[in-house]
Amino acid sequence: MNAPQADDSFAGFFAIPIGPFAQAAHEGIVMIDGEQTIVAVNDAALQMFGWKGPDLVGEPLSRLMPERFRQSHHKQVQAFGAVGAPEPRLVLREPITGVRSDGTEFPLEAAISRVELASADGGQRTYLAAVLRDLSVERKLEAEIESLKERFRTVFDISPVAMWIVQDDRVCHANRAAARLFGRQEAKLITGQSVYSLLNPQAHSELRAHLAQALAGDVPPPIASAHIIRPDGQEREVEIASAALPDHGRTVVQMVITDITRRQRQIRDQTLHRAALRQLSASVVEAREEERRRIARELHDELGQRLTALKMELSSLTHSGQAQGERQRVAGMLGMIDETVAAVRRISADLRPLMLDDLGLNAAIEALAREAAQRMDVEVTVRLGQEDPPLSSSAAIALYRMVQEALTNVGRHSRATDVSIRMHTAGDELVLTIHDNGHGFPPGALQREGRFGLLGMRERAVALGGRLEVDNPPGGG
Which of 209, 225, 259 corresponds to the end of one domain? 259
Note the pTM of the prediction, 2 decimals: 0.51
Q: Is residue 320 assigned to a domain? A: no
Inform me whether the pLDDT recorded for 361 exceeds 70: yes
Quote the distance between the C-alpha of residue 75 and its chain's center.
Answer: 65
Query: Are 134 and 174 contained in the same domain?
Result: no
Whole-angstrom distance, CA of residue 17 vs CA of residue 42: 9
CATH number at residue 63: 3.30.450.20
In a domain, 67, yes or no: yes
Cα 333 to chain centroid distance, Å, stands at 75
**Tens of pLDDT, residues 447-477:** 565 566 778 888 888 888 888 888 876 655 5
Q: Between 82 and 131, name the one with better pLDDT.
A: 131
Residue 416's pLDDT is 84
Q: What percentage of residues in the chain have a pLDDT greater than 70? A: 85
Is 62 part of any domain? yes
> Considering the domain boundaries, does residue 116 fall inside one?
yes
Nearest Cα to 360, choosing from 329, 333, 387, 324? 387
- Tell whether 280 is covered by a domain: no
Residues 135, 16 share a domain: yes
Helical residues (DSSP H) of 93-187, grouped into ranges:
136-158, 176-181
User: Same structural domain for residues 187 and 244?
Assistant: yes
Q: Are residues 135 and 163 in the same domain?
A: no
- C-alpha span between 44 and 21 (Å, rounded): 12
> Are 46 and 126 within one domain?
yes
What are the pLDDT digits (tens) for 271-328?
888 888 877 777 777 777 778 778 877 777 777 778 888 878 777 776 655 666 777 7
Q: Are residues 400 and 457 in the same domain?
A: yes
347-360: burial string, b at 16+ Cβ within 10 Å, e else: ebbebbbbbbeeee
Same domain, 122 and 214: no
Q: Which residues of 336-345 are buried (b: 16+ CB within 10 A; e: fewer)?
A: ebeeebeebe
Is there a single domain that holds both residue 212 and residue 98? no
Domain count, the chain: 3
Q: Which domain holds residue 395?
A: 360-477
